[in-house]
Amino acid sequence: MNIANNCVVAFHYTLTDDEGNELDSSKGKEPLAYLHGHSGIIPGLERELEGKVAGDAMKVTVQPADGYGELNPELVQAVPRAAFQGVDQIEVGMQFQAQGAGGQVQMVVVKEVSDELVTVDANHPLAGQVLHFDVSIEGVREATEEEISHGHVH
């Protein structure tokens, strides 16, 4: 069966950056399963998997616009240290949940800390990066009606 909309696809992957550093992998785990055509994985990778079959293996390069987006400088903000009530020690690299302008919850990463301000970044950690996937397709099947109506694999 070829990968197409409303198929459940299971695949193993290794994700690396431009320097070849491994960023993520499914090695030693279950394959990642998603419902094709329902935005379960980044668009650039999903597009490259279209039409493939179980047993296929490929290397895929995804540009930022088709991955996690370009870096948005508006998502980097300096906020008063007082906004972190109850947190005694704030360090670069720490992650916090914050409320976005529309009320949605978003993750932010601390980029810089001073006595008065904490600079946080709400960009996805992989935003702005070219992503390199080494993929092997382990299985492809028709999705159930329930999976299609829910928009994800069960």
Distance CA 52, CA 130 (A): 22
Neighbours of 18 (CB within 10 A): 10
pTM: 0.84
**For residue 128, what pLDDT is reported?**
96
Per-residue pLDDT tens over the stretch 43-84: 999 999 999 999 999 999 999 999 999 999 999 999 999 888
Neighbours of 105 (CB within 10 A): 8
How far CA 141 is from CA of 11, 35, 97, 125, 137, in Å, comes to 12, 10, 37, 32, 12
Question: All domains of the chain, ordered by start, with CATH?
Answer: 7-68+127-150 (3.10.50.40), 73-121 (2.40.10.330)
